Chain A
């Protein structure tokens, strides 16, 4: 049933591609650049965030005032704040598009399981960073978010109290709260780049940036929104006047809305199940390469006798699966006699693509399942027939 549903979703995705393709040429199609767009929004977030960071004061007494000062008194402060706010929405939207597109087109198989898992981590971290951003403003919404998050965390069995203390520095509102939230906003944002590195490591020629059409469109749309719908804070948080409600940003705060209908423990459990299922998706369809009709080519092997240490395979491998190490002895062939280095394949990184075989002019690399001599025979016989 899951497989059939996935097939239908694949059809729908491809149909959507075709419809968008009628307006945009292939190399401008935004659906092919959701990852690149996410990168663009992340860059905007980091740059605008650095600006905001210099004005923010993480203390109960000054946090709200510092945000208000930035918004009202600093030239273009409200514009930069708006850019930060709307870029965060854009970031989540394109990550979700990227997630669903790659899910429905089954781009999680084989060597793509690691990009999938790192992508899930990016999504989870992005959501978390968004919530901490709302708390930093320290208005009535922030106060409500802290109370609701603390309450939900304390319902987690065994580690609930520890989790709440780790997030907020203790029960209730402590002086540690805002410095800790600031750290939890900026620290995971830095971690996003670590996950991005992991995300790209196993992808050949990733599209890390959208084409100019979409860079201009995204920047323009953010600025237009910033100008038309200026970002403002809710009234300042006050211990004397606890908040009774707040405006919900559906992209980041919908779990808090769900607390109206779900008990905290159920919501936490649901979140854990969703993340766990997301991480399991690449392994849900158990087809092997043989069942899919793909011959197992095997991890690339270096033929030590032929390796000259020229490093061509090292530079060509998009998966960083080949390293060059000092050679203790010369090779056998004439070209390999004077070598100082030799290639070594890191099995855990090799995706068996065969690019290194094509890169090597000395026939020093082979895929065991596709020996060069066999392929040459096939090509020759195909040419002759």
Chain B
């Protein structure tokens, strides 16, 4: 794996970890009836996924 791909992999792992933490936060938000927190965290997860897709592509893991 090239240095470039390794750097992208590191960022993908970080974003995945952030998404996991946000999912835990979403569960907490629902249990505590803080729907705004849930909505914001869903937003963060979707944003993280969009960057993960981009990094997967730029790292050469998917696409052309």
Contacts and interface: CB of A to CB of B under 8 A. Distances in A.
A25 B39 contact: no
Classify the secondary structure of B's interface with A: helix
Contacts of A212: 50, 53
Nearest to B54: A213
A346 to B, nearest CB: 38
Contact of A25 (B36, B38, B48, B63): B63
B43 A227 contact: yes
B50 A220 contact: yes
A216 to B, nearest CB: 4
Contacts of B36: 78-79, 226-228, 230
B54 A223 contact: no
Interface in A6-60: 24-25, 27-28
A213 B53 contact: yes
A75 B38 CA distance: 13
Contacts of B41: 227
A222 interface: yes
B54 A28 contact: yes
Classify the secondary structure of A's interface with B: helix
Contact of B54 (A24, A75, A78, A221): A24
A216 B49 contact: yes
A223 B42 contact: yes
B45 interface: yes
A100 interface: no
Contacts of B35: 75-76, 78-79
B37 interface: yes
A78 B58 CA distance: 37
Contact of B46 (A27, A82, A217): A217
B47 A226 contact: no
A75 B39 CA distance: 12
Nearest to A219: B46
A379 interface: no
B53 A216 contact: yes
Contacts of A221: 43, 47
Contacts of B53: 212-213, 216
Given A25-B58, A28-B57, A226 B50 contact: no
B40 interface: yes
Contacts of B49: 216, 220
A224 interface: yes
B43 A226 contact: yes
Interface in A194-243: 212-214, 216-217, 219-228, 230
A217 B58 contact: no
A173 B40 CA distance: 39
A220 B44 contact: yes
B50 A79 contact: no
A28 B63 CA distance: 11
Given A25-B58, A214-B50, A227-B37, A220 B43 contact: yes
Interface in B22-64: 35-50, 53-54, 57-58, 63-64
Contacts of B46: 216-217, 219-220, 223
A224 B25 CA distance: 14
A228 B54 contact: no
Contacts of A225: 43
Interface string A61-82: 0000000000000011011001
11 contacts: A27-B63, A76-B35, A79-B35, A217-B50, A220-B44, A220-B45, A222-B43, A225-B43, A226-B40, A227-B40, A228-B40
Interface of B: 35-50, 53-54, 57-58, 63-64
Given A213-B57, A224-B39, A230-B36, 20 more contacts: A25-B58, A25-B64, A27-B63, A27-B64, A76-B35, A212-B53, A213-B50, A213-B54, A216-B49, A216-B50, A217-B50, A220-B43, A220-B50, A223-B39, A224-B47, A227-B36, A227-B39, A227-B43, A228-B36, A228-B40
